[in-house]
Amino acid sequence: MNKAVSRREFLKTSGGVALFIGVSGILPQMISCKNKKEVQGIIQKHPLTAWVQLTDDGRIIIYNPAAEMGQGSMTSLPAIFAEEMDADWSMVSVEFSPQESDIYGSDKWSPNQKVMLSAGSRITYGYYSIMRQAGAQARYILMHSAAEHWKVPLAELSTENGKVIDNQAGKRISYGDMIPYLVMPDNLPEFSESDFKDPKNYRFIGIDQPRVDIPEKVMGTAQFAIDIKLPQMLYGVLERGKLHGASPKLNNELEILALEGVLKLVHFDYAIGIIAETIDQALAAKKLLNITWSEAPSSGFNSQECYKKYDEIASDKSTGKVIIDEGDINRAIKSADKNFTVDFKNDYVYHAQMEPLNAVVQIGADGKSAEVWVGSQQGFDSKLGIPKYLGIPAENVKINLQYLGGGFGRRSMTDFVLEGTGLAREVAPRPVKLIWTREDDVCYGAYRPLTLQRLRAATDAQGNITGFSHCVVGDGGNLVASGIGIDYYDIPNKFAEWREVSEGIRLKHWRSVGHGPNKFAIECMIDEVATYFKKDPADLRRKLLAKSPRALATLEKAIAISDWGSAIDTNRAKGIAFLERSGTLSTGVCEISVDRTTGKITVHHFWSANDAGIIIQPDNVKAQIEGGIVMGISSVLKEQLTIVNGQVQQSNYSDYQILRMEDIPDSIETTIIESKEPPRGVGESGTPLVACAIANAFLKLTGKPLRHLPFTPERVLNVLNT
């Protein structure tokens, strides 16, 4: 224990004080739970700002600062807190914290700034130390209060499963029964690593707890934003067209306004909004809109023809934005015995989260306040841009976070929240539920960028890689650059650059971001080199990872669990890939076959070995990686969003098909390697393993490389027939 901080400072820096504490004025204030009226009064006046609340009936409510989009934050973050608090898990319930980043933010996204953001698989990493610290402080307050109550030195007390214990006196009291005796210590200690619980006494970290959100998700009572119904609520829809950024001119405004239930039309720069009494009326009116669309920056763009231009950009003598420059790549290429140059491509993919975008927004009658119910991955502004949009102070905006029916990056945008706000402003104080149809969600999506990647590998005569160069051509900066690094590979000369091209198509992070396309290109290149030199691709990676022991351990583990190298059915082959995503190190192996008449690839088995640091909830980590692999298979074998003359060509699951149950592998085996390092992200590490593992298996099976995502049957047939 070191560096005690004052109560006031604690509130400011560590974010809220443990236990049942409201903010009254500046200083946190302990509130007795005995006087319910007083408590309710104070809570009404001052929003509760704490990580935990003890209630009269003995329940421990722990606040989750992260979004819950299926990644299990509702269980894993409270489990970290409960571990250090030494809580009785059977008494724990979990609620979303208020969306107030000053109190509930983490600085792990951006130095010196507290941010609430569920993105980049970073919430466990981002909140691990915060939850441990806050949990330990909550326990300290309980022990301090018991010491005062029993008039014994704090050092004589201990805790056990939700009870403070005085072993000498043989007394014990449950946390809930401590409520009348709670006192705030003058100084709350800041705990350090040596003060925290010994991991061998862990009851929650590393030990599966059933996910707290699952019972309501199987009963149908879990509440998503789309399920919200408020008194006097209206419904909103927008027509945004299929050409991103085009402006609408509405030709039949009067006709639409005359329709039954239609209350108002709202003009946006890029859309026409309709507000109606019921959802069916709003949707019926949307179908009848007669709109002329302007041209836009993406007019004339054809996503399947642009690769020729990208090839020219990659061939240009100038250099783009240099991302990595280690050693001397030009010398490596010049002095190489053999150089490989290979282009890889990937088409756009769409998020396809199952819950279409939506938000419920209510603006105060005076236009100076807003309340929002939304499934959001949050953001640097925990008020989701609404204060600026409405020109009102941030404290006048209340965000009620709901479960997300999938995020995958799409819900880290606020476009749909601001649209809902724009509609609600027109009919304040009546609330509006904005719903995107699936067609809206596809057509006005924000996709993982299309790219062309030119990779060069320089080798010596034995096939050792001496230089590795990676040029990515595409739109979106980090959206196409993430995952281009290969620190873990022992290659003396490395170079990577991004060459920008802009098409006016909306883009966004898509599960694993640039790692999907970049790791595909990198890992396939490794196998192309290995194949040329008749080396075992696993062996080649063994050499490359020789100086990265944690990475190498995942490789060895994957080799072992997949029985790599053993004889299998001659119609099948295995492929391997290694990568790092969100700090997690993963090796994946898949076993595939291909129907040579239809071009259809089948993935039979997938194995992965992962080092993700300390694991909070092992089964959930496996579930995340399994899910990521399934989404990876889906995107790699089926998903393709195309643009013709700027117009998005797909509109629903009919023409944007995602993986169905008929195409799932027989098994996915996920292994976690034990580690004492801080926890890292697992939500995205499975997804980018898939493209490269499949392509590498295909290369082994057929001798032909797959270099353009997705591997649709037509493309596979083309490759087989050339």
Site residues for another protein per CB under 8 A = 69-72, 210-211, 213-215, 217-224, 226-227, 229, 235, 278-280, 352-356, 403-408, 435, 437-439, 619-620, 623-624, 626-631, 634, 652-654, 658-662, 664-665, 667-668
Give the three-class secondary structure for 250.
strand
- Distance, CA of 345 to CA of 342 (rounded, Å): 10
Q: Are 489 and 468 contacting, i.e. CB atoms less than 8 angstroms apart?
A: yes
Nearer to another protein, 218 or 461 (CB): 218
**Letter for the amino acid at 44?**
Q
Nearer to another protein, 356 or 514 (CB): 356
Q: Minimal distance in Å, beta carbon 277 to another protein?
A: 11
Nearer to another protein, 284 or 324 (CB): 284
Nearer to another protein, 177 or 227 (CB): 227
Nearer to another protein, 307 or 510 (CB): 510
Q: What are phi and psi of 341, to 5 degrees?
A: -130, 120
Q: Is the dihedral of CA 615, 619, 623, 626 positive or negative?
A: positive
Nearer to another protein, 13 or 278 (CB): 278
Nearer to another protein, 75 or 459 (CB): 75
Element (H, E) at 333: helix 329-334
Q: Minimal distance in Å, beta carbon 589 to another protein?
A: 17
Nearer to another protein, 178 or 709 (CB): 709
Q: Minimal distance in Å, beta carbon 354 to another protein?
A: 4
Q: Minimal distance in Å, beta carbon 94 to another protein?
A: 15
Q: Minimal distance in Å, beta carbon 508 to another protein?
A: 16
Q: Minimal distance in Å, beta carbon 227 to another protein?
A: 4
Of the candidates 494, 520, 516, the residue with the CA atom closest to the CA atom of residue 577: 520
Q: Minimal distance in Å, beta carbon 212 to another protein?
A: 11
Q: Minimal distance in Å, beta carbon 623 to another protein?
A: 7
Q: Read off the DSSP letter of residue 450.
A: P
Give the three-class secondary structure for 590.
strand
Query: What distance lies between CA 124 and its chain's CA centroid?
Result: 11
266: left (phi over 0), alpha (psi -120 to 50) or beta: beta
Residues 6+ apart with CB under 8 A from 677: 550, 611, 613, 614
Nearer to another protein, 598 or 718 (CB): 598
DSSP character string of 306-332: THHHHHHHHHSSS--EEEEEES-HHHH
Q: Minimal distance in Å, beta carbon 619 to another protein?
A: 6
Q: Minimal distance in Å, beta carbon 651 to another protein?
A: 9
- Distance, CA of 346 to CA of 470 (rounded, Å): 15
**Letter for the amino acid at 245?**
G
Tell me the residue ranges of DSSP E strands in 191-256: 234-239, 248-250
Total residues found in the chain within this entry: 722
Nearer to another protein, 208 or 343 (CB): 208
Give the three-class secondary structure for 477.
coil
Integer angstrom CA distances of residue 193 from 1, 104, 133, 196, 201: 9, 21, 10, 6, 15
